[in-house]
Structure 1
Amino acid sequence: MKHARIRYQGQVHHVLVNDDHSVTVAGQRLAADAVEWLPPAQGTVFALGLNYADHAAELAFKAPTEPLVFLKSPSTLTGHNAVSVRPDNVTYMHYECELVVIIGKTARNVSRAQAMDYVAGYSVCNDYAVRDFLENYYRPNLRVKNRDTLTPIGPWWVDKADVADPANLTLRTWVNGKLTQEGNTSDMVFDIPFLIEYLSSFMTLSPGDMIATGTPEGLADVVPGDEVVVEVEGVGRLVNRIVSEAEYEASGNRS
């Protein structure tokens, strides 16, 4: 099943998604373009850096020996079909297609062998990065990874049982219809059970927390007007559009 959070007529609803991507609210079946798609889960977002061997090599780095994890603030999160703002006067902003793990129950000191018992399901995110402010790939500062609107997640999350092998899923990105990134979750340096064991060894994971598991090689600059589509095989296809700060302000999204 596909689970989503949507806003319709000013109200937020938790819904199941039909095969045609419509949703049902109060007995009314609504087309996908009739609702506002929100990030499908609510919780802390843990994001992985350099967690794909090919991506680390692309950047001339050795694969890390311990997970490089940073957190996302709520203001960075948007949903399917939303816009992402490219800051003015930056030279390089790139997408990052990622598989997202949704935590289903409280996890503390979980072993690798039991880790998957704590997974509710999976989603997709596009973890944009503003490369101009990157001082060190091992320490992505706030201006790189915690800017408003630069982490679309969704459109939904799918039940764990509906994804046969999360360690063998194809990830793809298209910019304006052109395939620009393709990889596979089998290239993760630290797999999902390891990450849950690692994080839960020193902190409590809660239902709704999300782990964005990193991106493969194939990054490219995106600019206002670009449509970016990221897809994880068997999970979902997430669409958003890049806008300038001026366009965003003119639309009334920012005071």
Structure 2
Amino acid sequence: MPEYRRILLDGVVVETVREGEELVAGDGRRIKVEEARHLPPVVPSKIIAVHLNHRSRVEEFQIKLGGTPTYFHKPTSSLNAHGGAIVRPDGCKWLNYEGEVAIVIGKTARNIAPDDAGEYIAGYTVANDFGLHDFRDTDAGSMLRVKGSDTLCPLGPGLVTDWDFRGRSLRTLVNGKVVQDGSTDEMTWDMHYLVADIARTITLYPGDVLLSGTPANSRPVRPGDVVEVEVEGLGRLTNHVVAGPAAVRTDVGAQPTESEEVLSTALGGDWEFRGIRPPRR
């Protein structure tokens, strides 16, 4: 399966093809994979994410899905890459990982049937749909700051074409320990359905990204943690969490909170029922 990566090479953005443990530029230059400075593999005009899709996640929250998916938007300013730092602003505590598969659009899609959606997909990449749940009380509907704050949408390391999404394992690791372990087979709505659903009323352009949902056990991470998302056939996306250099301004807007909704979402919806005190971070 061909894999394409965007990197910064000698100060210039270069598109490369992976050949074994090397990345090869169009002019023949080669660089070892581990030495490359990665960029997001695509430049989308929009990033759309499904709220809940994996059955294990739905069961974890003990809720019942509706008959169709719901979505939220992550601004393109949230984009990050393989090897990039995830910034947790000072004064915030509830930054959660969410390992996912990202769908990348290959040609303009509008009003297409699910059976035809595969023709409009360029390929897939790994994503980590980080969420800053400290802002959930104010942005629970839009998820704008929760999911759209700077650095919270790492994609990569590369774009893989001709990848069959069926029956693929998806794992998230924190500091080398597996914390999420799921499969694309537990998705309620598959990749083709999601693309066709959005394209009914929103035109999708080449490079646009759809995030397809996360398995159970999304939990908070703290500065110093290394978070990896590994998808069978797509590779491993690695990021590290750092502390923001400044606190969120207090002279404007809603402030971070620690309500029951914030804590139960960050900790999987179970802390208050099991007598578990939320960790202080």
Give the drift of 1:168. 1.5
Distance, in Å, in 2 between the alignment partners of 1:143 and 1:246 is 18
Q: Deviations over 1:174-194 (max 9, x none)?
A: 100011110011111211121
**Contact kept? 1:7, 1:36, Cα under 8 Å:** yes
- Percent identical across equivalent pairs? 38
Equivalent residue number for residue 249 of structure 2: none
Give the drift of 1:32. 2.1
Give the drift of 1:110. 0.5
Distance, in Å, in 1 between the alignment partners of 2:89 and 2:36 is 27
Change in Cα spacing, 1:187 to 1:140, as seen in structure 2 (3 Å) is farther
Aligned residue pairs, count: 244
| Stretches of 4+ aligned residues off by more than 6 angstroms | none
Distance, in Å, in 1 between the alignment partners of 2:130 and 2:197 is 25
Change in Cα spacing, 1:27 to 1:103, as seen in structure 2 (3 Å) is same
**Contact kept? 1:63, 1:189, Cα under 8 Å:** no
Distance, in Å, in 2 between the alignment partners of 1:136 and 1:110 is 35
Distance, in Å, in 2 between the alignment partners of 1:246 and 1:90 is 12
Give the drift of 1:64. 3.2
Equivalent residue number for residue 142 of structure 1: 144
Distance, in Å, in 1 between the alignment partners of 2:171 and 2:91 is 28
Equivalent residue number for residue 261 of structure 2: none
**Contact kept? 2:22, 2:31, Cα under 8 Å:** no
Equivalent residue number for residue 41 of structure 2: 40
TM-score of the aligned structures, taking structure 2 as reference length = 0.82
Give the drift of 1:137. 9.3
Query: Superposed, which structure 2 residues align to 1:210-225 within 5 Å?
Result: 210-225=209-224
Give the drift of 1:221. 1.2
Equivalent residue number for residue 193 of structure 1: 192
Structure having the higher Rg: 2
Equivalent residue number for residue 86 of structure 1: 88
Matched, 1:207 2:209: no
Give the drift of 1:35. 2.6
Equivalent residue number for residue 51 of structure 2: 49
Equivalent residue number for residue 165 of structure 2: 166
Q: Deviations over 1:154-180 (max 9, x none)?
A: 000101x2x2x3131111011000111
Equivalent residue number for residue 110 of structure 1: 112
Change in Cα spacing, 1:140 to 1:62, as seen in structure 2 (3 Å) is farther
Matched, 1:18 2:16: no
**Contact kept? 2:72, 2:143, Cα under 8 Å:** no
Q: Give 5+ residue unaligned stretches, structure 1.
A: 248-255
Distance, in Å, in 2 between the alignment partners of 1:25 and 1:241 is 30
Give the drift of 1:31. 1.5
CA RMSD of superposed structures (Å): 1.8
**Deviation larger for 136-145 or 171-180:** 136-145
- Letter matched to residue 34 of structure 1: E
User: Secondary structure of 2:20's match?
Assistant: coil
Change in Cα spacing, 1:222 to 1:23, as seen in structure 2 (3 Å) is farther
Equivalent residue number for residue 32 of structure 2: 31
Q: Deviations over 1:11-41 (max 9, x none)?
A: 1011111211433363221112433211101
Q: Deviations over 1:134-162 (max 9, x none)?
A: 23997252120011011110000101x2x
**Deviation larger for 210-219 or 29-38:** 29-38
Matched, 1:74 2:76: yes
